[in-house]
Amino acid sequence: MNKQPKVSIIIPLYVIESRFFSDLKKFNKLNYKNYEILVVCDKPVKIDNPKTRLILTGKQRTGPAEKRDIAIIKAKGEICAFIDDDAYPDKDWLVNAIVHFQHPEIAAVGGPGITPKEDSYWEQLTGLVYGSFFCGGHAQYRFIKGKMQFVDDYPAYNLIVRKKTLEEVGGYGSHFYGGEDTFLCLKIIKAGFRIIYDPEIVVYHHRRALFIPYLKQIANIGKHRGYFAKKFPQTSRRLSYFLPSILTLGVFITPLFGYFDKMFLVFYVLLFASFILVAMSSVIGKTNLVNAFLVSLGIIMTHISYGINFIDGIFREKLDR
């Protein structure tokens, strides 16, 4: 394999705002020369960057999976690097990723999406929620630097894939908005390839502010994962994905038993308080007590929002965009 194979960086653009154009300039700092940037959008956008091509979908409204599939066809690189329109890469992003493609069985690599230092106060709190083990659990490494490992599911905000493999599996091939990456990774694994996570393949991913904007995003993720648990059990029917729903049912059902026995209410209050203290302890070394308390509430509300919508997803016959 060439030391610097051509890489097509693919960005599905949905939210057109000044921050996107500011982040796009940071791609110029990449410690890698042989790349192009494909920005895919439903409407015309003025982009002043010699390495960037704007691709119009020709449609009124397309999702990120559809935009990425359009870009894959137009890509000139032998590697496609997917990143979201609210993220930008570390300067060594591509250098650290390309080394893994020396191994023919590895078709894709991913790395953490770390909260940028310039994010606002409420966005930083969301970053702490994501980075807590009591929120991310086994997937915590997606938001902080974890240990290198093979994975079978990875988000498209930082996913780099051989174009040949993408063509072989039919690209994203879905209209899902939230979970489209799960569907792609499942096809890659089924085709006999491997996906590796490397903590040094870093992008900086802007967060949605705690609480409402963030919880809306989590609700969408939970709904899709619930649907996938039924539709694609190979990677989505795991106990860890069901736990928030079990916790949520406990939160709402346990107080009802207090009608028959007050001890249930005492148990409920003690358990709830204990969870807040444990959640606070997971971030207390990174922030102050007030912020740690807000983060602990964010963690609890994450599980509830995800849990309710996971159940909703399970019972859906069809999942619209």
Measure CA 205 to chain center. Answer: 9
**Whether residue 144 sits in one domain with residue 77:** yes
Residue 119 lies in a domain: yes
Per-residue pLDDT of the chain (321 residues; tens, 9 = 90+): 567 999 999 999 998 899 999 999 999 999 999 999 999 999 999 998 889 999 999 888 899 999 999 999 999 999 999 999 999 999 999 999 999 999 999 999 999 999 999 999 999 999 999 999 888 888 899 999 999 999 999 999 999 999 999 999 999 998 877 778 999 999 999 999 999 999 999 999 999 999 999 999 999 999 999 998 988 887 788 888 898 998 888 888 877 777 778 887 888 888 889 889 988 988 888 899 999 999 999 999 999 999 999 999 999 988 765
Name the domain boundary from 208, 243, 271.
208
**Structural domain span for residue 71:** 7-208
**Whether residue 219 sits in one domain with residue 199:** no
Q: Mention every residue, 6+ apart, whose C-beta is less than 8 A from residue 270.
A: none
Q: Contact at 8 Å (CB) between 176 and 225?
A: no
From CA 145, how far away is CA 113, in angstroms rounded?
Answer: 9
**Whether residue 246 sits in one domain with residue 296:** yes
**Whether residue 71 sits in one domain with residue 24:** yes
Name the domain boundary from 208, 237, 257.
208
**Whether residue 153 sits in one domain with residue 204:** yes
Number of domains in the chain: 2
- Which two structure tokens, joined as six digits, stand for 40? 């895919």
**Whether residue 124 sits in one domain with residue 37:** yes
**Whether residue 23 sits in one domain with residue 86:** yes
CATH (domain of 196): 3.90.550.10
Omega before 211 within 30 of 0, i.e. cis: yes
- Give per-residue pLDDT as tens, 41-97: 999 999 988 899 999 998 888 999 999 999 999 999 999 999 999 999 999 999 999
**Whether residue 49 sits in one domain with residue 184:** yes
Name the domain boundary from 159, 178, 208.
208
Question: Phi and psi at residue 225, in whole multiples of 5°?
Answer: -65, -35
Residue 321 lies in a domain: no
Residue 1 lies in a domain: no
Residue 319 lies in a domain: no
